A and B are shown apart, each in its own frame.
Chain A
Amino acid sequence: MDTTTKNPTAPPVPGPLGAEQKRAARGATRPGDRIFLGLSRGSGILLLLIMAAIAAFLTYRAAIVLTKDQGNFFTTFEWNPTMDPPVFGIAVLAFGTVVSSVIAMALAVPVAVSIALFITHYAPRKLGGPIAYVIDLLAAVPSIVYGLWGALVLVPHMNGLFGWLDSYLGWTGIFEWQGGAPRSLLTASVLLAIMILPIITNVSREVFRQVPKMQEEAALALGATRWEVIRMSVLPFGRSGVISASMLGLGRALGETMAVATVLSPTFEIHASLLDPGGGTFAQNIASKFGEANEQGRDALIASGLVLFLITLLVNGAARAIIARRKEYSGASA
């Protein structure tokens, strides 16, 4: 392979005219080109096969148990797949997963975007580097460590926040607190928000760093202050990147298992108040029940996993749609 790639001036092997012309149109191909083409095409196909295999596996195992389910899979507030006949539904899990992840994203995105802007546009270089490094470290902490910290440190400290929320926003019903241990969906959301902060910050930081200098100077030359430059040039350029970053964070929050399992006291109920202990998420439920479940119980958990898989697909699709909708206005062409 080396001898041929090192000798690009070698005269072409004469061949029939048609083949020669075809070759000329495509350009010369050497073994390196063919190997690389094979590798990249193979990787692409492999990825599709893996996706299809996961989907097929989940669907097959789920279908077996779903036909036996006596409850409504989407609306039943119960999880008894081992009973005969089995009764189980994902309503509580879907609610808990979506609500905790969305709140986590809503909490994390403004903070992450602010940190990213601070590092790229406000902090002196000597300060920005170390901050970025610390954020990177946060991403490297294993999720079980977050979970332990959450259970031992965060949960006791949530009492203060819960009391405050209850006295000022309790009337909404969403923030009403009965005084139980703060092992609720909101606590899980706060922990998830801290966990997804690094990924959103890092992706946003990279995007903000890539804002073309001339875009920022355009705003500066019009007499824009630093915040106005950010509003006119940096945020519009970075918007699709920030959306992608948020969706990455949301995806991580949706699938997060151990941290949620350690701070939540799982029950199969949906509370109107985010402060009431209880609830559950798909991943947490799978992790806590998989070990002791029999075959039918595992299939039911797989069925719930399939729903999580679909929700994640939907989130990614929505992100792409948002980004594509305003492509005409995107800064990428500038």
Chain B
Amino acid sequence: MAKRIDVSGLTAYYGSHKAIEDISMTVEPRSVTAFIGPSGCGKSTFLRTLNRMHEVTTGGRVEGKVLLDDEDLYGTHVDPVAVRRTVGMVFQRPNPFPTMSIYDNVAAGLRLNGSYKKSELGDIVEKSLKGANLWNEVKDRLNKPGSGLSGGQQQRLCIARAIAVEPDVLLMDEPCSALDPISTLAIEDLIGELKERFTIVIVTHNMQQAARVSDRTAFFNLSAVGQPGRLIEIDETERIFSNPSVQATEDYISGRFG
């Protein structure tokens, strides 16, 4: 049930500090959109406004609209907890629940959402682990703790945990930055498969990765340190990397700054 994201005039603050200003963009369903830009440009902050994780930080607040299909995530009667159940998230460093087994990690989100029969739960866990290309590596040790896996396996476990609840959107915040090249490749392949089912937004510092995995790329920048980050442009990934319409994008991509 991939959904379209429609952001208009979004500004986010940390207390009195304005982190990102006036961002508008559309993210197509069943596609991968990559956010690139120098450190501090607000791409992670923006990503976290898409599932209302931004406001978890002390002083975090948001102005503007984020529509998921036609529903405003920041509407007056919308519960942020319900938003996070439909917009999943994978973090920079793999963070499986250390006290839970592999099975329980994947089932964690499902157990929050309601009661399932044991067999039903088992089927979803298997399907999710297969969906995250992890099933064959862990099927014999589902009752072992998730913290015993390698970093790359842990990250795929986190992806399995996120997709088990069938979210509308999957947000990934630099999901490969703590992984070795082979694990990174496994995750990138996985992203290619997952976009058949989900709307995927990925923040990355690795421009080759953006070029490899994404359909569209958004470039963020800030005019000076302490200034709010802004969306410079968003376009087809091919165009961004070959013939961007803004000079700053070309400078960043060709390594002239950032």
Identify the A interface with B (CB < 8 A): 125, 212, 214-215, 217-225, 228, 232-233, 236-237, 239, 326, 328-331, 333-334
**At the interface, yes or no: B56 with Cβ under 8 Å from chain A?**
yes
- A178 CB to nearest B CB, Å: 47
User: B residues within 8 A CB of A219?
Assistant: 97, 108
Find out whether the CB atom of A223 lies under 8 angstroms from the CB atom of B109.
yes
Query: A222–B161 contact, CB under 8 A?
Result: yes
CA distance A214 to B93 in the complex (A): 8
B145 at the interface (CB under 8 A from A): yes
Chain B 135-177 interface mask (CB, 8 Å, partner A; 1/0): 0000000000101100000000010011001000000000000
B34: min CB distance to chain A, Å: 20
| A143 CB, nearest partner CB in chain B, Å | 37
Which residues on A sit within 8 Å (CB–CB) of B112? 222-224, 228
A212 nearest in chain B by CB position = B95
Chain A residues lying within 8 Å of B51, measured Cβ to Cβ, are 221
- Chain B 110-121 per-residue mask, 1 if CB under 8 angstroms from chain A, else 0: 001100000000
Cβ distance B108 to chain A, nearest Cβ, rounded Å: 6
CB distance from B94 to the nearest CB of A (A): 9
Q: Which 10 A-B pairs have the closest CB atoms?
A: A223-B85, A236-B99, A221-B89, A222-B109, A334-B98, A223-B84, A214-B95, A218-B95, A331-B98, A329-B99
Given A214-B93, A221-B88, A223-B84; 6 other pairs, CB 8 A cutoff: A217-B53, A221-B53, A222-B162, A223-B86, A329-B98, A333-B98
Cβ-defined partner of B84 (8 Å) among A222, A326, A329, A334: A222
Nearest-CB residue, chain B, relative to A331: B98
B81–A236 CB distance below 8 A: no
Q: Which residues of B contact A333 (CB under 8 A)?
A: 98, 147
Does B229 lie at the interface of the complex (its beta carbon under 8 Å from any beta carbon of A)?
no
The secondary-structure label for the interface of chain A is helix
B165, A334: Cβ atoms closer than 8 Å: no
Tally of contacts, chain A with chain B, CB under 8 A: 81
* Residues of chain A contacted by B145 (CB below 8 angstroms): 328-329
A221 in contact with B162 given A214-B93, A328-B145, A333-B147 (CB within 8 Å): yes
> B95's contact among A217, A224, A239, by CB below 8 Å, is which?
A217
* Contact call A330/B99, Cβ cutoff below 8 A: yes
Q: Roughly how many angstroms separate A153 CA and B129 CA in the complex, as a whole number?
A: 61
CA distance A33 to B97 in the complex (A): 41
Distance in Å: Cβ of A231 to nearest Cβ of chain B? 10
Q: How far is the CB of A159 from chain B (nearest CB, A)?
A: 45
Q: Which residues of A contact B83 (CB under 8 A)?
A: 223
Bound-state CA distance A194–B108 (Å) is 37
Could you say which of A215, A218, A221, A329 has the most chain B C-beta atoms within 10 Å of its C-beta? A221
**A225 — which chain B residues lie within 8 A by C-beta?**
81
Which residues on the B side are within 8 Å of A330 (C-beta)?
98-99
B98 & A237 in contact (Cβ 8 Å cutoff)? yes
Is B91 part of the contact surface with A, judged by Cβ < 8 Å?
A: yes
By a CB distance below 8 angstroms, the chain B residues around A237 are 98-99
Say how far B88's CB is from chain A's closest CB, in angstroms: 7
Interface flag for B96 (CB, 8 Å): yes
**Closest CB-CB distance, B91 to chain A, in whole Å?**
6
Do the beta carbons of B89 and A223 come within 8 Å of each other? Answer: no
| A222 and B99 contact, Cβ closer than 8 Å, known pairs A214-B91, A217-B53 | no
Once bound together, how far apart are the Cα atoms of A218 and B84, in whole Å? 11
Asked, given contacts A223-B112, A333-B147, whether A218 binds B56 with beta carbons under 8 Å apart, the answer is: no
What residue of chain B has the Cβ atom nearest to residue A231's Cβ? Answer: B112
Contacts A232-B108, A328-B145; A218 near B96 (Cβ below 8 A): yes
State whether A222 touches B53 (Cβ < 8 A). Answer: no
- Contact partners of B185 in chain A: CB under 8 A: none
A221–B80 CA distance with the chains assembled, in angstroms: 10
Most buried by B among A215, A222, A224: A222
A324 to chain B, nearest CB (A): 15
State A228–B162 Cα separation when bound (angstroms): 16
